[in-house]
Homo-oligomer: A and B are copies of this chain.
Amino acid sequence: MSRGIHLALHPYGVGGPGQHGLWKDPRVAKNASIDIGYYIRQAQAAEHALFDALFIVDSQFINATYPAHYLNRLEPLTLLSAVATHTRHIGLVGTASSTYNSPFNLARRFASLDLISGGRAGWNVVTSFDTGTSRNFGLDEHLDYATRYGRALEFVQVARGLWDSYEDDAFPADVERGVFLDPRRLHALDHVGEHFRVAGPLNVSRSPQGQPVIFQAGVSAEGRDLAARVAEGVYAPGGTLEQAREYYADVKRRAAAHGRDPEHLKVFLHGGPVVAATDARARRREREIFEEDNDFDRNLALLGRSFGAYDFGVHDLDAPFPDVAHLAEKGGRTGAAQIIRRAREQELTLRQVVESVAAFRESPFVGSPTTVADTIEEWFAAGTLDGINLAFRTDDDLELFVDGVVPLLRERGLFRTAYEADTLRGHLGLPVPANRHTRVRERAGG
């Protein structure tokens, strides 16, 4: 089933960038984003459905106009560690910034989660999108784009080096010989690079999956290249089927160009499926959800987020879109640059830009269970995805998908009927990376 579709669950908590009004739903606990019980139940539901992973997003910056999703929430590794001991199979993927962490500490925390979960940890590497984050870490400004990506690459390389500190046979714990540790199986890293100097060794040994799985969301050329070089799962930007196919082929090609097996880079599309008894009802519900979330002030704040938490509220809404080109240039904000280009070409006011950015768009995975299963199958066959990162507004929506769509995917041989492994690597069909020191020794010996 490693050739089937991989499914991950992305629990929302309360509200989010696209779920502004969700907290008003009586089925959603107002404190869900800080309630560990909520996350444990979500993980157990996903595990019951045999999903590959639970995926936790993050940001280290908020302000009062921010999406409720990020406002008040548990730190991902603390969260996932608590979830780990209440689940047995499902992968646990947490988001953490390579810009605002140190490799030794973060490598250690993911290694700990990997041991606590028996080999189910995954790290979604982000370079931190929100500019304001820098001010929580003593910097007036984000590191520039190229530096952030260079740092991310080296960070992952250092983490992987630290994760190999202990070979699997490092602790003979041989009472007769009086040997607890075999010091020849413990290795310092002595990394000296452009961004980091880290001696090691790490004081955590390897898990049953060897090392945590690396995820990344690469959109720009730098992002795609980072994913192609080090990621084992990548969150694709989505769009139309044609755009998704282009992206899929591009990152697989880039992975191969780096000498990797493209099969070892799994592409996940984001999907917020809306399932109902009929297609018409599902489409109606999709529109209702859009209206529930649609709020001009929220949309204005979200537009500002693309420009580095810029406050567009200081401008006249009905004057031409303001000159904010300097914000788009800073930090290589490709989305912001596109918005400026369109505003100029179409001579839009600020209000018109806000409305066009937040305009209703139909999403692909909406319809009756059969329609949604058909669409997933079509997109999978078209070479757009290896997996889908699924987000649902309520437990009812999750249930409609799990009870309606998943059985159809199973019937068609597209999704597992039982867990074939206990590790995240196992679910994704990724090999356990050999310890670099063991490999060198074995080569030398053979």
- On A, residues with C-beta under 8 Å from B are 14-15, 23-24, 30-31, 34, 36, 40, 59-65, 68, 70-75, 77-79, 81-82, 84-86, 100-102, 104-105, 108-109, 111-113, 115-116, 132, 135-138, 166, 171, 173, 175, 178, 180-181, 183, 186, 196-201, 203-205
Contact = CB atoms under 8 A, between A and B. Distances in A.
A116 B68 contact: no
A40 B86 CA distance: 12
B23 A204 contact: no
A108 B64 CA distance: 18
A60 B135 contact: no
Contacts of A65: 183
Contacts of A79: 81, 112, 116
Contact of A74 (B171, B181, B204): B204
Given A78-B109, A100-B102, A72 B197 contact: no
22 contacts: A30-B171, A30-B173, A34-B115, A36-B84, A60-B108, A68-B180, A68-B181, A73-B204, A74-B204, A75-B204, A77-B77, A78-B109, A78-B112, A78-B113, A78-B116, A79-B116, A82-B84, A100-B102, A102-B138, A135-B198, A136-B200, A138-B198
Nearest to A175: B24
Contacts of A101: 105
A69 to B, nearest CB: 10
* 4 cross-chain pairs, A with B, having the tightest CB-CB distances, nearest first: A64-B183, A135-B199, A78-B112, A30-B173
A104 B60 CA distance: 8
A82 B71 CA distance: 24
A74 B135 contact: no
Given A74-B112, A138-B196, 17 more contacts: A63-B201, A64-B181, A70-B203, A72-B205, A77-B81, A77-B109, A78-B113, A78-B116, A81-B82, A82-B85, A102-B138, A104-B136, A132-B199, A135-B198, A136-B199, A136-B200, A138-B198
A394 to B, nearest CB: 15
Nearest to A61: B203
A198 to B, nearest CB: 6
A422 B108 CA distance: 30
Given A60-B105, A62-B201, A203-B70, A40 B175 contact: no
B112 A75 contact: yes
A245 to B, nearest CB: 37
What number of copies of this chain does the assembly contain?
A: 2
Contacts of A201: 62-63
B138 A36 contact: no
A62 B138 contact: no
A105 B99 CA distance: 12
A183 to B, nearest CB: 4
B203 A62 contact: yes
Contacts of A59: 203
Contact of A203 (B71, B104, B113, B205): B71
A78 B64 CA distance: 29
Contacts of A105: 60, 75, 100-101
A192 to B, nearest CB: 10
Contact of A138 (B112, B116, B197): B197
A297 B100 CA distance: 40
**For A14, A65, A199, A203, which residue has the most chain B Cβ atoms within 10 angstroms?**
A203
B23 A173 contact: yes
A74 B199 contact: no
A24 B175 CA distance: 6
A112 B24 CA distance: 24
Nearest to A116: B36
A373 to B, nearest CB: 35
A85 B36 contact: yes
Contacts of A74: 112, 115-116, 204
Contact of A108 (B75, B84, B115): B75
Contacts of A113: 78
